[in-house]
Structure 1
Amino acid sequence: MADFPNLSRRGFLSRSTAVGGLLVVPGALAACSKTASGGTDGAGALDKLRKQGFVRVAYANEAPYGYLEGKELKGEAPTLHREIFKALGVEELKPTLSEWDGLIPGLQAGKYDVVSAGMAITPERCANALFSEPEFISPTALMVKKGNPKKVTDLPSAKAAGITVGVMSGAVEGSYAEGAGISKEKIKTLQKPQDGADAVKGGRIDAFLLTGISLRWLAKTNPGTEVTEAFLPELDGKKQYSPGGAVFRKGNEDLRDSFNRELKKIVSDSSRYVELLQEYGFGATELPPATLRTADLCKG
């Protein structure tokens, strides 16, 4: 699944465009003591999940974050969440497919218990749901021709080399390139990731700028390309982490907190983290720093 149909709605975008899935379902937050399926929120949520033996998770069918392969739910979020919920005494994930924009409204309506889709943590989304602490960060990288003929490693080196850089339409990487001082005539816009890979292979651009996670996945199906080491671009002197996490219904703070305790054990152990998620292109560069906290990200 190298084509990432939902990437432009993930939240790796500017603040003004990264608000997919934020519609509030009328009445959904008015009575947090009961879910649509009759379950109890708050302190009893984890007990309920343990008794029933499963947790209902939503995914958007977007590799490598959360997708169905045959009958198996795979990807970064389901793999990590399966490990965490097993540690909490809940053995099974029961998946529900959702359109990206429907993930949070469906959560509010009680259709599932957790969003397992690698959703970016933004203040707008925090207003409507609870996020775990960051599960990953999304450092940026460059896809180049095999052998990296221009020897670029990051945006400052791309500027110095005078190369042409491709970015996805509407995505935040365009602002990263401009912020690094690359002239607009050297920035080419593509509509989807595969277009970027094709442009690199065809020599129409020298490098394609996107998250390292996405580019490593894309490179699997695009021989003749390679991906640089990931790096953190800066805007106005601030490093751009693009973190994502699990999403819970408001009122389920205790469930979120229990999840966070197990998540901390995994992200504090880089070898375990990489072992779990390397299949999906996640490595040590995607480990969130201990100082990066959801409470701060929700403030903006």
Structure 2
Amino acid sequence: MAPLGYDDHTTGHERRHTRRAVLTGLAAAGALGAAGCARVATASTTNGGELLDRLRAQGVVRLGIAGEIPFGYIDKDGRLTGEAPELARAVFKRLGVDRVQPVPTEFGSLIPGLNSQQFDVVAAGMYVTPDRCRQVIFADPDYQMLDSFVVRKGNPKGLRTFKDAVAKKAKCAIGTGYAQIQHAVEAGYKESDILIVPDQVAGLNAVEAGRVDFFAGTAVTVRQVVAKSAKAEAIKPFVPVVDGKPHVDGGAFAFRPTETKLRDAFNAQLKKLRESGELERILRPFGFTKAEMTTLTTKELCGG
């Protein structure tokens, strides 16, 4: 996924979510997005249960998305899809809201757009971080994410982790703004020695052409990009190191800080979907597997 819609103003921990994005079909969704924004002026600031009541009365919830495959995007037929929008459809239908409407924006505009009421909820697979927890409230994570590598068929260097790659002096490629840049540097790479490429497709090409030994990305991204490759494969996902400690990220829906009742109602339905196995079924078409299912809590990821 090309690095569009990045959270450009962030560094360090916050950059962990500047993941690969393709703003596919935003032009097709422009009218919908504009319609969603046009109603902002009439949408009152809500608290308690008022927003959920209003959404039920309207029969539609506006979702902030950032055009990121596989998290939330408009497909080539102009249809809203992705792991977060499809999960939103399932949860909000159970809450009595039958329709979802996309409001496309850049990733860095999601939280400001939410808090200025341009949409009702962020449905973009957003990583839960302490800094974001000071700006919005999150539902429980609906997935967790590990790192993985694209390597040549047979994994000739036997690469398993960044530390392993450093020891074997493997040449590395990573996408612009990817969290894996930090992970690689923490393992011992010099950032100047990392080949920075536009996206995972460019990373795959670099591996296939022998310019690098591996391309690093999230497990879902890596699995998707090698699916049709005859020359490359994905290694087993692994836990990266952040600030010297093993770290697993989790993605979740975000709500305005006043909307605790809506968030809690969302969580209750999410829990039922997780326990029934329906959550995994919803996310599976977008490359998520049992390994991405999680018991992480927002409290853990927010830093207690």
Question: Shorter-chain TM-score: what band?
Answer: 0.7 to 0.9
Confirm whether residue 244 of structure 1 aligns to residue 245 of structure 2: no
- The equivalent of 1:152 in structure 2 is 159
* Distance (Å, rounded) in 1 between the aligned partners of 2:71 and 2:211: 29
Is the deviation greater in 216-225 or in 139-148? Answer: 216-225
Q: From 78, 82, 93, give the equivalent of 1:75.
A: 82
Question: Is the alpha carbon distance of 1:179 and 1:121 closer, same or farther for their aligned partners in structure 2, counting shifts above 3 Å?
Answer: same
Letter in 2 for 1:234: V
Confirm whether residue 46 of structure 1 aligns to residue 52 of structure 2: yes
- The equivalent of 2:284 in structure 1 is 278
Confirm whether residue 3 of structure 1 aligns to residue 2 of structure 2: yes
Instruction: Calculate percent identity across the aligned residue pairs.
Output: 34
Deviation, 1:206, is: 0.8
- The equivalent of 1:96 in structure 2 is 103
* Distance (Å, rounded) in 2 between the aligned partners of 1:57 and 1:184: 36
Question: Which aligned pairs between 1:1-300 and structure 2 lie closer than 5 A?
Answer: 2-6=1-5, 8-9=6-7, 14-15=12-13, 17=15, 36-39=41-44, 40-69=46-75, 70-181=77-188, 187-220=194-227, 222-269=229-276, 271-288=277-294, 290=295, 292-299=296-303
* Distance (Å, rounded) in 1 between the aligned partners of 2:210 and 2:89: 42
* Distance (Å, rounded) in 1 between the aligned partners of 2:161 and 2:72: 28
Letter in 1 for 2:205: D
- TM-score scaled by length of structure 2: 0.82
Letter in 2 for 1:60: A
- The equivalent of 1:31 in structure 2 is none
* Distance (Å, rounded) in 2 between the aligned partners of 1:274 and 1:161: 36
How big is the alpha-carbon RMSD for the aligned residues of Structure 1 and Structure 2? 2.7
Deviation, 1:261, is: 1.2
Cα offsets for 1:101-160 (capped at 9, x unmatched): 221222112221111111111222222222111121110001112332223233344344
Letter in 1 for 2:141: P
Instruction: Say which SS state the counterpart of residue 282 (structure 2) adopts.
Output: helix
Instruction: Say which SS state the counterpart of residue 141 (structure 1) adopts.
Output: strand
Cα offsets for 1:234-287 (capped at 9, x unmatched): 234422212111011121100001111111223345x43332112111111211
Question: Is the alpha carbon distance of 1:13 and 1:205 closer, same or farther for their aligned partners in structure 2, counting shifts above 3 Å?
Answer: farther
* Distance (Å, rounded) in 2 between the aligned partners of 1:19 and 1:152: 24
Q: Is the 8 A contact 1:12 1:242 kept in 2?
A: no
Cα offsets for 1:12-67 (capped at 9, x unmatched): 962264698xxxxxxxxxxxxxx743344321222222222121111111111100
* Distance (Å, rounded) in 1 between the aligned partners of 2:270 and 2:298: 13
Question: Is the alpha carbon distance of 1:185 and 1:5 closer, same or farther for their aligned partners in structure 2, counting shifts above 3 Å?
Answer: closer
Which structure shows the bigger proportion of residues in helix conformation?
2
* Distance (Å, rounded) in 1 between the aligned partners of 2:139 and 2:10: 18
Number of aligned residue pairs: 281
Cα offsets for 1:189-222 (capped at 9, x unmatched): 3343232111101101111111112222323465
* Distance (Å, rounded) in 2 between the aligned partners of 1:295 and 1:11: 25
- TM-score scaled by length of structure 1: 0.83
